[in-house]
A and B are shown apart, each in its own frame.
Chain A
Amino acid sequence: MTEEKGTKSAPAKKQKINLNRVEMPKQSEHERRHNFDEVALGYTWELAKEEASRCIQCKKRPCQQGCPVNIDIPDFIAALQREDVEEAARILKRKTSLPGVCGRVCPQELQCENACTLNKKGAPVAIGRLERFIADWERTQGAPTMPEMAPSTGKKVAVVGSGPSGLTVASDLAILGHQVVLFEALHVAGGVLMYGIPQFRLPKEIVQREVQYVQSLGVDLRLNTVIGINYSLDELLRTDYDAVYLAPGAGLPKFLGVPGENLNMVYSANEFLTRTNLMKAYRYPEYATPIKMGKKVAVIGGGNVAMDAARCAVRLGAQEVYVIYRRTRAEMPARLEEVENAEEEGIEFHFLCNPTAFLSDGRNNVAAMELIRMKLTEPDESGRRRPVPIPGSEYILDVDTVVVSLGTSPNPLIPSTTPDLNVTRWGTVVTDERGRTSKARVWAGGDIVSGGATVISAMGEGRIAAASMHEFLSNGQKKIIPPSPATDDPKTL
């Protein structure tokens, strides 16, 4: 790429804008098809310096506004430009406790990098890769930088769910001096970062390292504890806790509701990924959890989870892996980078088709599926082109394993055991713009509110709720009931 005119629109700096984004080395597609090691290898110090030098430090800081947790992006890049990685890490940690995670799985192309001034030239600064570099540098070379901790406030908070949203609230409130207990239903912390996102995209050691960092802030992590069963929300509020943050996620898998969907070897993406990632089935029998998979695997859906499932199937030894999506490539919700990775790994994409039935081999194992071709309508009022089936276009595709990846709905456990918590008809918890629910002293965020979104948006909601909770807890003397979007029962206090 060459420089073009238009340097006028750039800030009044003499240096020329470098439009050559530094590529991040990756494992070759041939090699990575056979292992669960991380695909992207990360920048070296030389590459990171070179990429950081591209940042023009523009005054408007659009990248920071594009970040859901408002990371001081120009500042940490400036620190890299000064070759002070430790300072860069400190700046990063001011706004995120999970830089190693964010640097890997955030959809930067839609957020900070989309807002980057250089994006107008098509070559935004690779902010995500730089963030990842700093986090990895700190993990491998430096001592973890610790934030300044506020003195104890004597207030106690329960955080339900240790996924990205819960971890953010737990660390924010701990730094602000509150005593935090973080409850997790599974046997390890991290939520979707552990059970959902595969090792080759987000190594579990990195997640655990960041969980340990949150614990090092004084957060008391209680695993194997299911809120809604072991303690109801009211029990938490009645006993020790001044406030509660709900982030139990959207665990419940969705299905198509077509005949044969419960046949053997039809998996939900959650089961397939949980076996593979959380329970390490790819290292069976060293790890005791098995996973059974055939040779021809179809993954239904077009999101990041579908890409993860398809790429896991490749690594588990499938001969053919198809991604079945009812719209076209342009509408796929998955990150472009992951779609490209999937294509490089030999995954076949079937667009504009949708399963209408799963067929049995006679012994109740899936042997094939019936698909119908789809077409997109003209854009409707919302501007969306809806997929509609083309009558009579059904056809059969032989498969022996199916992974259904159509998204999830909120886990109903807490709402169902908390009658005075307002939920929508989709089961998501209703909150106001600061994360407050209809129930006094209860905030919520992450997928239980959004119904299924990204790691960083869950963190962003956590950050806002933590600020709101802190404000409430700081006024605790007056026993203020937080104003809430719906009816409030003061008796619950």
Chain B
Amino acid sequence: MYSIVEHEVLAPRVHRLRVQAPVVAEKAKPGQFVILIIDEKGERVPFTISDWDSEAGTVDFVFIEVGKTTQQLATMQPGDQLLSFIGPLGRPAEVGQFGHVVSVLSGYGIAAMVPILKALKDNGNTLTTIVQAPDQDRLFGQKPLEELSDTLILALGTQGDGMMESTTVAMRKLLNQHPKRRIDRVIAMCSLCLMRVLSEMTRPYAIKTMVHLTPVMVDGTGMCGACRLSVGRTNRFACVHGPEFDGHEVDGWEVLMARRCTYADESILQQGFQCRGCSQW
């Protein structure tokens, strides 16, 4: 069993859990994920690691309440136990010396990207970070991003007075300055639709764009094939070959989006998690 040692509510329906899992913490690297099971009747659900402490033997992850399992997780308190916590799974993110790296974050990606940004910063990269959130109240984890980023752009509020800028507008502005203010790499950890749009935006500039893909997964170690997707015309499993992929190489985003939605049931739709214009919803 794996003990929960901390539970923090970061924003409405957004939570951070810290779990005692020394074996996972020992090997964790930026961009990797865990698969957890709450109890005997629970499902296997993947979460990207947002922080870890190999000395204390703890691992953090951030999640948003969307379905049954995340709602159940939201009720768990320090001292409660998880049946299973497997990781670190997937390949670590590439964190080389690139130069100027622009990252685009939303949702759990705001927290899950932090270890990647830290490593990129340590490697001497210049970081521009664009964060999308529906409004100021639902923005969380701003502080570490401010500390790590050379430039932090908040794209808040797509509706109402609070609207400042949308992610794509911010990205467009940056791309207009390229190559004078050169962008060497884009990393996106946000909604599937947005990652797709960003990949198309950077393609004409041939700026390498990495996307973090989390299709439906069951075992997470390459056994079930649920998370397969086509990258560079080859079948890849997000759990072993990913979750970071070159966005310009991803084939068939529509199929990927459809697969992602296989198990999106009514309970999720009612909460307004639709991405506009998605053919599945």
Query: With a CB–CB cut-off of 8 A, which chain A residues contact B228?
Result: 255, 262, 268
Min CB distance A192 to B, Å, is: 10
The answer to whether B118 has its CB under 8 Å from any CB of chain A is no
Contact status A187-B84, CB under 8 Å: yes
Contact status A251-B223, CB under 8 Å: yes
Contact status B86-A187, CB under 8 Å: yes
Query: With a CB–CB cut-off of 8 A, which chain B residues contact A265?
Result: 262
Contact status A229-B219, CB under 8 Å: no
Query: Closest residue to A411 on the B side, CB-wise?
Result: B222
Interface string of A255-292 (1 = CB under 8 A from B): 10100011111011011001100011000011111101
Q: How far is the CA of A261 from the CA of B223 in the complex (A)?
A: 17
Query: With a CB–CB cut-off of 8 A, which chain B residues contact A261?
Result: 235
Q: How far is the CA of A271 from the CA of B44 in the complex (A)?
A: 12
Pairs of residues from A and B, 7 with the lowest C-beta to C-beta distance, nearest first: A251-B223, A364-B258, A268-B225, A187-B84, A253-B225, A271-B224, A289-B43
Contact status B255-A411, CB under 8 Å: no
Query: With a CB–CB cut-off of 8 A, which chain B residues contact A274?
Result: 218-219, 223-224
Q: How far is the CA of A263 from the CA of B42 in the complex (A)?
A: 27
Query: With a CB–CB cut-off of 8 A, which chain A residues contact B255?
Result: 262-264, 364
Other CB < 8 Å A-B pairs besides A271-B218, A289-B218, 20 of them? Answer: A187-B84, A230-B23, A252-B222, A253-B223, A253-B225, A261-B235, A262-B230, A262-B235, A264-B255, A264-B258, A267-B226, A268-B224, A270-B224, A274-B218, A290-B43, A364-B258, A364-B279, A364-B280, A413-B221, A413-B240
Q: How far is the CA of A418 from the CA of B261 in the complex (A)?
A: 37
Interface string of A389-433 (1 = CB under 8 A from B): 000000000000000000000011100000000000000000000
Contact of B41 among A263, A267, A287 (CB under 8 A): A287
24 contacts between A and B (CB under 8 A): A195-B219, A253-B223, A262-B229, A262-B230, A262-B255, A264-B255, A264-B261, A268-B226, A270-B219, A271-B218, A271-B224, A271-B225, A279-B44, A288-B38, A288-B41, A288-B42, A289-B218, A290-B263, A290-B265, A292-B263, A363-B280, A411-B223, A412-B222, A413-B221
Q: How far is the CA of A258 from the CA of B174 in the complex (A)?
A: 40
Name the residue in B38, B43, B84, B223 with the highest tally of chain A Cβ atoms < 10 Å from its Cβ: B223
Q: How far is the CA of A250 from the CA of B218 in the complex (A)?
A: 16
Q: A229-B27, A262-B259, A289-B44 are in contact. Are A185 and B221 (CB under 8 A)?
A: yes
Query: With a CB–CB cut-off of 8 A, which chain A residues contact B261?
Result: 264
Contact status B258-A288, CB under 8 Å: no
Interface string of A373-391 (1 = CB under 8 A from B): 0000000000000000000
Min CB distance A476 to B, Å, is: 28
Query: Closest residue to B2 on the A side, CB-wise?
Result: A224
Query: With a CB–CB cut-off of 8 A, which chain A residues contact B44?
Result: 187, 279, 289
The answer to whether A123 has its CB under 8 Å from any CB of chain B is no
Query: Closest residue to A264 on the B side, CB-wise?
Result: B258
Name the residue in A268, A363, A364, A412 with the highest tally of chain B Cβ atoms < 10 Å from its Cβ: A364
Q: A230-B27, A288-B69, A289-B43 are in contact. Are A264 and B262 (CB under 8 A)?
A: yes
Interface string of B230-263 (1 = CB under 8 A from A): 1000010000100000000000101111110111
Contact status A255-B225, CB under 8 Å: yes
Q: How far is the CA of A224 from the CA of B261 in the complex (A)?
A: 27
Q: How far is the CA of A365 from the CA of B259 in the complex (A)?
A: 8
Min CB distance A211 to B, Å, is: 15
Min CB distance B93 to A, Å, is: 16
Query: With a CB–CB cut-off of 8 A, which chain A residues contact B279?
Result: 363-364
For window 309-366 of A, CB contacts with B under 8 Å fall at 363-365
Contact status A364-B223, CB under 8 Å: no
For window 6-48 of B, CB contacts with A under 8 Å fall at 23-24, 26-27, 37-38, 41-44
Query: With a CB–CB cut-off of 8 A, which chain A residues contact B280?
Result: 363-364
Q: How far is the CA of A89 from the CA of B218 in the complex (A)?
A: 38
